[in-house]
Amino acid sequence: MNILILSVGTRDKIVQYFRKAFAGDGRVVAADCSRLAPALYDADKFYIVPKITEDGYLDVIFRICREEGIHGVLSLIDPELGLLAEHEGEFCAMGVTVVGSSRELCGMSLDKYRMYQWLCAHHYNCARSFLDGEEFCRAVDAGEVGYPVFVKPTCGSASVCISEAADWETVELLLSHGEGLMVQEFLHGEEIGADVYIDLVSGEVVSIFTKRKLKMRAGETDKAVSFRDGRLFALIERFVGEAGYRGQVDIDIFEVEGEYYISEVNPRFGGGYPHAYECGVDHMKLVKNNLRGVANVRNIGAYEEGVYMMKYNEVCVRKDGKPEFTDGI
């Protein structure tokens, strides 16, 4: 029972956790386009591969799957999720399960405005968003939205190129200097993260872990504390079920005056997942069971509240010759 983890980058803990889950039963193979991706060296075996945008990339991944006897494949970056889902049939023909959601859902999750439209259509609380500056101005004049607001790419991650604007002049300037931008309401509330696993066999939500985010850094949770709320669990379960997600999902949520607002969804392991794992929420074992064709038992909220996560930096040092792929440094 072998698993291939793509675009591992600096997600060392994710690779380590998978190795622990698969120890004695299979191997963890990692891949990345840079030899300086430290998580590569935590796997049982690793490959340096082309960038996902290069011709022939998938042929390389298919070859690795055949040569290594891979049973499951997943990616740790958003742009690759849809690519794997698009070619799920080809992976399946090789006996490889894509651990993730459909191409449509991966695309919607990456496109913040499409996600906003879906949330509105299905009556979920969410931040008001606008592609059109004039429409935004009308909403401000009507008192429906106030400053400050965010101007951000409709497709993006890690809080890259997000700007806060306190007036129309700033919004107008930002919109005029880029394409594919949207204006989003600023939610004055507490940010929450949820790590969710939807069983690949049964299609049911079997695990949810939630944390209050105390500090963010570069778009990721830097410090957080675990908590439980049955009302939030029910909202998450309804949302992922209605949308149709599968496998691991990372959800950003805001609590505003006692109401929960769904913000963004990453259908993969998020940077804050180690908090869940260290609280005993082991989604690697859930993946392993699914790859064996075994449905997992529902076990939502099975962790202790008040457990804090505090990130800190580590280093990986190797004497391995001149790096061959360094564009992603």
pLDDT in tens, 78-118: 999 999 999 999 999 999 999 999 999 999 999 999 999 99
Q: What is the mean pLDDT of the chain?
A: 93
Give ranges for CATH 3.30.470.20 in the chain: 189-310
pLDDT on residue 205: 98
pLDDT on residue 76: 97
Place of tokens 């030899």: 35
**pLDDT tier for residue 318 given thresholds of 50, 70 and 90:** confident
pLDDT above 70 coverage of the chain, percent: 95
Cα 163 to Cα 149: distance, rounded to the nearest angstrom: 8
**pLDDT tier for residue 325 given thresholds of 50, 70 and 90:** very low
Fold of 128-185: Dna Ligase; domain 1 (3.30.1490)
pLDDT on residue 323: 46
Evaluate whether 212 touches 224 at the Cβ level (below 8 Å): yes
**Full-model pTM:** 0.92
Whether 121 shows a pLDDT value over 60: the answer reads: yes
pLDDT on residue 176: 87
pLDDT on residue 321: 58
pLDDT on residue 327: 40
Domain at 2-99: CATH code: 3.40.50.20
pLDDT on residue 50: 97
pLDDT on residue 326: 38
Domain 189-310 matching CATH 3.30.470.20: the answer reads: yes
Cα 264 to Cα 262: distance, rounded to the nearest angstrom: 6
pLDDT on residue 288: 98
Cα 102 to Cα 125: distance, rounded to the nearest angstrom: 24
Give ranges for CATH 3.30.1490.20 in the chain: 128-185
DSSP string, 233-287: HHHHHHHHHHHT--EEEEEEEEEETTEEEEEEEESS--TTHHHHHHTT--HHHHH
pLDDT above 90 coverage of the chain, percent: 84
Whether 222 shows a pLDDT value over 60: the answer reads: yes
Give ranges for CATH 3.40.50.20 in the chain: 2-99
Cα 145 to Cα 272: distance, rounded to the nearest angstrom: 31
Whether 329 shows a pLDDT value over 60: the answer reads: no
Cα 86 to Cα 295: distance, rounded to the nearest angstrom: 24
Choice between 317 and 20, residue whose per-residue pLDDT is larger: 20
pLDDT in tens, 26-78: 999 999 999 999 999 999 999 999 999 999 999 999 999 999 999 999 999 99
- Cβ neighbours for 139, distance < 8 A, ≥ 6 positions apart: 128, 130, 145
